[in-house]
Amino acid sequence: EVQLLESGGALVQPGGSLRLSCAASGFTFSSSSVSWVRQAPGKGLEWVSAIHSDGPTFYAASVKGRFTISRDNSKDTLFLQMTSLRAEDTAIYYCATTFVGRHDYWGQGTLVTVSS
Amino acid sequence: EIVMTQSPATLSLSPGERATLSCRASQSVGSNLAWYQQKSGQAPRLLIYSASTRATGVAARFSGSGSGTEFTLTISSLQSEDFAVYYCQQYNNWPQTETFGQGTKVEVK
């Protein structure tokens, strides 16, 4: 069974940093592309970032230069390093498997709140 | 950026009725379109990909159609568990980018 478990969400002040993690199991993580998708409170879904199995990374314009996606294939874990956080980054952050663009499996999400 | 527009924003129907949800792309995305279902407090669930292919385990009452800029998700006979928010997603420019529609809420009339 595919499982994705996000962690690291917290309350952080504007301008602060946070690192999210997503522990994967039930599939060959090292061979899979994975993504972060976020959802602001009461709003729709917004793609944030993706990383391919062989390393290339991609970002939404809204986070480029502030967020960094990475992976540790030895630990089947995906990361999202977030810096210069803004109020508009407040959201539930989901990690999801990605196959040619579609997201077959999703974690339950972790809440990031940016507020003073 | 390709903008995805879903209509209507809210659909009020009774169990057993047919639901028709629309998704329009600002430019052609071919068949690179997916539909997701999200229930309150839960993560999204993939229903349809490649515009018309049901994901594993998805009930046959869900069907997708369309190509280019116009897409439709049809639920042939609404069950109680189908009342939720539905999002379309285009991934024509993947991996550089992808975009979601704003969602359609299917609620009990």
How many Cα atoms sit within 13 Å of A65 on the Cβ side?
Answer: 2
B95 has a pLDDT exceeding 90: no
Residues of chain A contacting residue B100, judged by C-beta atoms under 8 Å apart: 44-47
Distance from CA of B80 to the nearest CA of A (A): 22
Q: What is the pLDDT of residue A81?
A: 98
> In this complex, is the C-beta atom of A106 within 8 Å of any C-beta atom belonging to chain B?
yes
Residue B97 banded pLDDT, cuts 50, 70, 90: confident
Do β-strands B99-100 and B85-90 pair in parallel, antiparallel, or remain unpaired?
Answer: antiparallel
B43:A103 CB<8 A: no
pLDDT of A109: 98
CA distances (Å), A116 to each of A13, A19, A85, B78, B107, in order? 5, 18, 11, 44, 36
Q: How far is B4 from chain A (nearest CA, A)?
A: 12
Q: Does A97 touch chain B (CB under 8 A)?
A: no
- For chain B, what's the residue count? 109
For residue A80, the model assigns a pLDDT of 98
Backbone angles phi, psi at A42, to 5 degrees: 70, 10
The segments of chain A whose pLDDT lies below 50 read none
In this prediction, residues B44-68 reach a mean pLDDT of 98
Q: Is B40's Cβ below 8 Å from some Cβ in A? A: no
Would you tell me which residues 69-88 of chain A have a C-beta closer than 8 angstroms to some C-beta of chain B? none
Contacts of A37 in chain B (CB under 8 A): 44
Q: How confident is the model at residue B96 (pLDDT cuts 50, 70, 90)?
A: confident
